């Protein structure tokens, strides 16, 4: 039985003092939730502070990216070791905004995911098609290529430590949510890919989140689908009330 997981991707929002306030509010409403896993991913600058605020709770903390090297002359980059050392447990990898604006490729997603595991971090690996690709009937092809690329040369044990987030790019930050049926179809297809690449047991065990304009009022329909194991939430994770609304929809 896959436990549901709701992860908040704060993106480039919240100064450290604002992050401290939001994390404090979340502590009050979601700090002892045990019917689903809760992860919040603030910007790097607030990781330390947020880890401190939620430390005695059920809420876990993740980063939004990492570099695939351990250290060195990589101005502006953050290593897995640095993230782990702050007490974070998860890291988002391959988000479509990284792919679109910052040259993320399936190869760098693969390197980053390997490195995250090496540092004991749980990768949340994002995949998903653009509107152009969907309209051209290429959704399955794109998702297949991205997933195969992310897990290239991975052992089953490594894959089992990861989480996949299916995020159709056309639904991210647009208010245009995928219908539960559209999302379910792709989630089921992702399990088919995993069965082909690895095996059926692994495919059944892998947690697959949906991301893209998930809100309290549409979360239930999505989360009820058999292959949707949670959500990666952008906009609605920036307010304690809406994030909690989605957490409650997992019940
Ligand atoms: P959204 O973002 O919920 O604002 O659409 C989701 C994401 O990008 O992870």
With contact defined as beta carbons under 8 Å apart, do 224 and 251 qualify? no
Closest ligand 1 atom to residue 97 Cα is: 8
Q: What tokens appear for 89 in the block?
A: 């447990």
What is the model's pLDDT at position 117?
Answer: 98
Degrees to nearest 5, angle at CA 113 with 136 and 197: 60
Give per-residue pLDDT as tens, 217-243: 999 999 999 999 999 999 999 999 999
CA 243–ligand 1 middle distance (angstroms): 12
Asked if residue 78 lies in contact with residue 44, where contact means CB atoms within 8 angstroms, the answer is yes
pLDDT in tens, 62-78: 999 999 999 999 999 99
The catalytic residue among 90, 95, 144, 187 is: 95
Cut 0.95: pTM above it: yes
Closest ligand 1 atom to Cα of 212:
5
Give CA–CA dist 51/87, Å, rounded: 6
- If you measure from the C-alpha of residue 47 to the centroid of ligand 1, how many angstroms do you get, rounded to a whole number? 19
- Find the 235 Cα to ligand 1 centroid distance in Å: 6
**Between the CA atoms of 158, 163, 167 and 173, what dihedral angle is there, to the nearest 10 degrees?**
-130
Collapsing DSSP to helix, strand or coil, 29 comes out as helix
Q: Which atom of ligand 1 is nearest to the CA of 9?
A: 9
Question: What tokens does 180 get?
Answer: 């539960």
Q: At 213, is the pLDDT very low, low, confident or very high (cuts 50, 70, 90)?
A: very high
Per-residue pLDDT of 104-138, as tens digits, reads 999 999 999 999 999 999 999 999 999 999 999 99
pLDDT at 1 over 90: no
Distance 247 CA to ligand 1 centre (A): 15
Q: What is the mean pLDDT of the chain?
A: 97
Q: Are residues 93 and 87 in contact, defined by beta-carbon separation less than 8 angstroms?
A: no
pLDDT at residue 10 above 90? Answer: yes
Take atom 7 of ligand 1 and give the residue whose Cα is closest.
234
Please tell me the predicted confidence (pLDDT) of residue 37: 98
* Ligand 1 atom nearest 235 alpha carbon: 4
Whether 97 is a known active-site residue: answer: no
The residue whose CB lies within 8 Å of the most ligand 1 atoms, and thus the one to mutate among 97, 166, 167, is: 167
Bridge partners of 92? 124
- Protein residue with its CA nearest to atom 6 in ligand 1: 234
Known catalytic membership, residue 140: no
- Dump pLDDT digits (tens) for 28-43: 999 999 999 999 999 9
The pLDDT of residue 41? 99
């Amino acid at each position: 039985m896959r436990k549901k997981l709701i992860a908040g991707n704060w993106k480039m929002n919240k100064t450290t003092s604002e992050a401290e306030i939001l994390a404090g509010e979340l502590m009050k409403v979601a700090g002892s939730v045990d019917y689903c896993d809760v992860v919040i991913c603030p910007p790097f600058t607030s990781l330390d502070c947020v880890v401190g605020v939620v430390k005695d709770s059920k809420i876990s903390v993740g980063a939004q990216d990492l570099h695939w090297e351990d250290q060195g002359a990589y101005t502006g980059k953050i290593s897995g070791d640095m993230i782990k050392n702050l007490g974070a447990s998860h890291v988002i990898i391959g988000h479509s905004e990284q792919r679109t604006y910052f040259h993320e490729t399936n190869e760098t997603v693969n390197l980053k995911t390997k490195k995250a595991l090496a540092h004991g971090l749980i990768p949340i690996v994002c995949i998903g098609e653009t509107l152009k690709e969907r309209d051209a009937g290429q959704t399955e092809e794109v998702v297949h290529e991205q997933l195969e690329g992310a897990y290239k040369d991975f052992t089953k044990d490594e894959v089992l430590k990861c989480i996949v987030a299916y995020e159709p790019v056309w639904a991210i930050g647009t208010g245009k949510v995928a219908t539960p049926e559209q999302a379910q179809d792709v989630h089921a297809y992702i399990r088919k890919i995993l069965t082909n690449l690895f095996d059926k047991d692994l495919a059944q065990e892998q947690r697959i989140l949906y991301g893209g304009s998930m809100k309290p009022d549409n979360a239930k329909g999505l989360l009820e689908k058999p292959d949707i194991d949670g959500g990666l939430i952008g906009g609605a994770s920036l307010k304690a009330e809406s994030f909690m609304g989605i957490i409650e929809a997992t019940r």
